[in-house]
Amino acid sequence: MQDPRKELILLLDFGGQYTQLIARRVRECRVYCEIIPYYTPLERISSRKPCGIILSGGPSSVYEENAPALPLAVFEMGVPVLGICYGMQLMGHLLGGRVVRASHREYGRARIGITGSEGLFKGLAGKTWCWMSHGDRVEAVPPGFVVSASTDSAPIAAMEDNTRRLYAVQFHPEVVHTPEGRRMIENFLYGICGCGGTWTMGSFLAAAAAEVRETVGHGSAICALSGGVDSSVAAVLVYRAIGERLTCVFVNHGLLREGEPESVREAFRRLGIPIVYVDAKDRFLKKLAGVAEPEAKRRVIGAEFIRVFEEEARKQGNVEFLVQGTLYPDVVESGTATAARIKSHHNVGGLPADMPLRLVEPLRWLFKDEVRELGRELGLPEEIIWRQPFPGPGLAVRILGPVTEEKLNVLRRADAIVTGEIKQAGLDRRVWQYFAVLPDIRSVGVMGDARTYAHTVIVRAVESQDGMTADWARLPHDLLERMAARIVREVPGVNRVVYDITSKPPATIEWE
């Protein structure tokens, strides 16, 4: 079977805030899209044989010194190119147009008038809404281009050269605030690039399993199984590919949620996949003693995980490979060539340099919603597919400051109440992630006519599609009231509950 990733759109990243969203929108059109740095050598771009190229937005101005750019030859490859926001300005600047600073920054919804009837806007006419976010604008189009859309404040909101198949928009078609944006992206992918839409989870599954078999060869692998949807999907996929040459290792590092070790073991028993259970609570807590800084916690946990897996690999014999459920958001937040490090995920930036096992990461370029879709394709039960996202370092990064057994006991019970109440309210599918956080503070309270000086618990609940961005969930007040009352009443050592109403960005979903 042909690899669905052969039908490829390359997205050149100039550091735009919506770059990952562009990739998701392309994939939603059943075309594989891969993000690469804008300075990727031309030879490497050409060797990938893309069907089309997209230039992302970015924070720079094209006329600044050392502004991100790319070789003119990209536009001469004969491959369709779509520039978005900064990508449009760069296209205009490099091809002989004129880019200037706008008289005022345009941000938010704008009404565009469409004048182009072919190419990007085929099937669209008249006026529609779009989302603008820019401080510069193209004032004169390059030779060979025509204006295809405009707004009151941006006379050149889109331009195109149908002969060379070069297209550009000043607005963002990838966001929901541009209601016809999907149509525009589909026009680019299908009508201009000639894509057929072969990127499905069924086709990906076949290609990924074949890739795993080729990578592992006749060797053996162990899988770092946490019981979450990512590692579970990776485990089942690889088990299908190489069978009993895979050993799934579930490490209880003492930082799991209430009842999680038992539920994970039972779920995989029903799937018919044997797992090795390792009780490593004491060694992880010993390593974490006194460690307060979040990145240090992640590095300690990541390194200790690898040490445990190495020991288990030696017990299993000649094991060369370690399977992980790494996702694309993990890679991005741990720092890529064009994305700043937000936090090191234990399975990416937290890995030790001297690790002898070779990584197998079949989900590395998937977003969370794609992983869930793949889980359905693999026949995983809904309880695993919709298991709450949970960081590999576990409760260690939901406890601010040093981790202790006493804090873990407090947080486990509080988190179980939050989880139970959300499910009881029937909101567990609508809310992307919900959990409790234990900050390193205590506050004064009154309980039973006596003064208390006890822990505060933070409740965090967010709505998201892929974890890259998130908005705080507007939970019903009576639900929040029940959570707070139960936590204070049922969890010893807690006298205050607060609710986090910060979105991502500027915050992250997790606190550490």
- For residue 483, report the phi and psi dihedrals to the nearest 5 degrees: -55, -50
Exposure string of 142-164, with b = 16+ CB inside 10 Å and e = fewer, is beebeebbbbeebebbbbbbbee
Host H or E run for residue 217:
none
CA pair distance 114, 159, nearest whole angstrom: 11
CA pair distance 454, 142, nearest whole angstrom: 66
What six digits make up the tokens of 24? 């998701």
Asked if 85 is an active-site residue, the reply is yes
Q: Is residue 56 a contact partner of residue 14, using CB atoms and an 8 Å limit?
A: yes
The one catalytic residue in 93, 172, 346, 455 is 172
The one catalytic residue in 33, 85, 130, 193 is 85
Q: What share of residues in the chain are helix, strand, coil (percent, to 5)?
A: 35, 25, 40
Host H or E run for residue 341:
none
- H helices of 32-125, in order, are 42-47, 86-94
The one catalytic residue in 174, 260, 370, 373 is 174
Asked if 172 is an active-site residue, the reply is yes
Asked if 51 is an active-site residue, the reply is no
* Nearest CA-CA partner of 42 in 6, 15, 69, 64: 69
Compute how many other C-beta atoms are within 10 angstroms of the C-beta atom of residue 197.
Answer: 13
Residues whose CB falls within 8 Å of the CB of residue 233, separated by 6 or more in sequence, listed in order: 325, 363, 371, 374, 375, 378, 380
DSSP states of 429-462 as a string?
Answer: TTSSEEEEEB-S-EEEEEETTEEEEEEEEEEEEE
**473-to-432, 459, 461, 503 alpha-carbon distances in Å:** 9, 11, 5, 9
**452-to-267, 406, 492 alpha-carbon distances in Å:** 42, 17, 11
Host H or E run for residue 226:
none
What six digits make up the tokens of 448? 């039973």
CA pair distance 481, 417, nearest whole angstrom: 12
CA pair distance 223, 239, nearest whole angstrom: 9
Q: Is residue 325 a contact partner of residue 248, using CB atoms and an 8 Å limit?
A: no
Q: Is residue 126 a contact partner of residue 113, using CB atoms and an 8 Å limit?
A: yes
What six digits make up the tokens of 242? 């190489």
Active site residues per annotation? 85, 172, 174
